[in-house]
Structure 1
Amino acid sequence: MAAVPTVKLSGGLKICRVLNGLWQLSGAHGTVDEAQAVEDMQAYVDAGLTTFDLADHYGPAEEVFGAFSRQLKSRSSPGSAPLQGLTKWVPGRMGGMDRKVVERAIRRSMTRMQVESLDCVQFHWWDYRDKRYLEALGHLADLQQDGLIRELSLTNFDTQRLEEITSRGIRISSNQVQYSLIDQRPAVRMEEFCLAHDIKLLTYGTLAGGLLSERYLGKAEPKSRLELYTASLSKYKKMIDTWGDWRLFQDLLATLETVAKGHDCSVASVATRFILDRPAVGGVIVGCRLGIAGAEQHISDSLLSCSPELRLTAEDSAAIQAVTQRSGDLMALIGDCGDEYRN
Structure 2
Amino acid sequence: MRYKELPGTEIEVSKICLGSMTWGQQNTQDEGFAQMDMALDMGVNFIDTAEMYSVPGRPETQGSTETIIGNWFAERNNRDKVILATKIAGPSPTFKHIRPNLGFSADALEDALHKSLTRLQTDYIDLYQLHWPERAVNIFGVRDYNHKPNARWEDNIGEILDRLEVHVKSGKIRHIAVSNETPFGLMRYMEEHRKGKLKIVSTQNAYSLLQRRDEIGLSEVLQMEDIGYLAYSPLAFGVLSGKYLNGAMPAGARVTLFPNYNRYNGEGSLAATQAYKDIAEKHGLSLTQMALAFVNDRPFMTSNIIGATSLEQLKENIESIEIQLSEEVIREINEVHSRMPNPAA
Q: Which has the higher helix share?
A: 1
Kindly tell me the number of residue pairs found equivalent between the two proteins: 305
Partner of 1:127: 135
Q: Determine if contact 2:129/2:179 at 8 Å carries over to the other structure.
A: yes
2:57 maps to 1:57:
no
Match of 1:278 among 291, 298, 301: 298
Q: Secondary structure at the match of 1:281?
A: coil
Tell me how far apart the structure 1 counterparts of residues 249 and 29 of structure 2 sit (CA, whole Å).
30
Q: Secondary structure at the match of 1:49?
A: coil
Residue 136 of structure 1: how far off its partner (Å): 2.9
Q: Secondary structure at the match of 2:256?
A: coil
Partner of 1:339: none
Partner of 2:5: 8
- RCO higher in structure (CA 8 A, sep ≥6): 1
Match of 2:161 among 118, 133, 137: 137
> Which letter maps to 1:238?
R
Change (3 A) 1:26 1:132: farther
Match of 1:249 among 273, 276, 282: 273
Partner of 1:302: 317
Tell me how far apart the structure 1 counterparts of residues 239 and 73 of structure 2 sit (CA, whole Å).
31
Map 1:98-117 to 2 at 5 A. 98-117=105-124
> Which letter maps to 2:295?
I
Partner of 1:267: 287
Tell me how far apart the structure 2 counterparts of residues 18 and 234 of structure 1 sit (CA, whole Å).
27
> Which letter maps to 2:334?
Q
Q: Determine if contact 1:252/1:324 at 8 Å carries over to the other structure.
A: no
Q: TM-score, normalised by structure 2?
A: 0.79
- Give unpaired runs (5+ residues) of structure 2: 54-61, 93-99, 137-150
Q: What per-residue deviation string (whole Å, max 9, x for no partner) do you get for residues 24-64 of structure 1? A: 1364xx4x422443344212222222321100010311111
- Give unpaired runs (5+ residues) of structure 1: 335-343
Tell me how far apart the structure 2 counterparts of residues 91 and 38 of structure 1 sit (CA, whole Å).
28
Tell me how far apart the structure 2 counterparts of residues 132 and 26 of structure 1 sit (CA, whole Å).
36
Tell me how far apart the structure 1 counterparts of residues 32 and 328 of structure 2 sit (CA, whole Å).
41
Q: CA RMSD in A?
A: 2.7
Change (3 A) 1:71 1:192: same
Q: Which runs of structure 1 show a deviation greater than 6 angstroms over 4 or more consecutive aligned residues?
A: 223-227
Map 1:115-264 to 2 at 5 A. 115-124=122-131, 125-128=133-136, 129=151, 130-131=153-154, 134=157, 135-169=159-193, 170-216=198-244, 219-222=245-248, 228-231=255-258, 235=261, 237-241=262-266, 244=268, 246-259=270-283, 261=284
Change (3 A) 1:173 1:230: farther
Residue 300 of structure 1: how far off its partner (Å): 3.0
Q: TM-score, normalised by structure 1?
A: 0.80
Identity %: 21
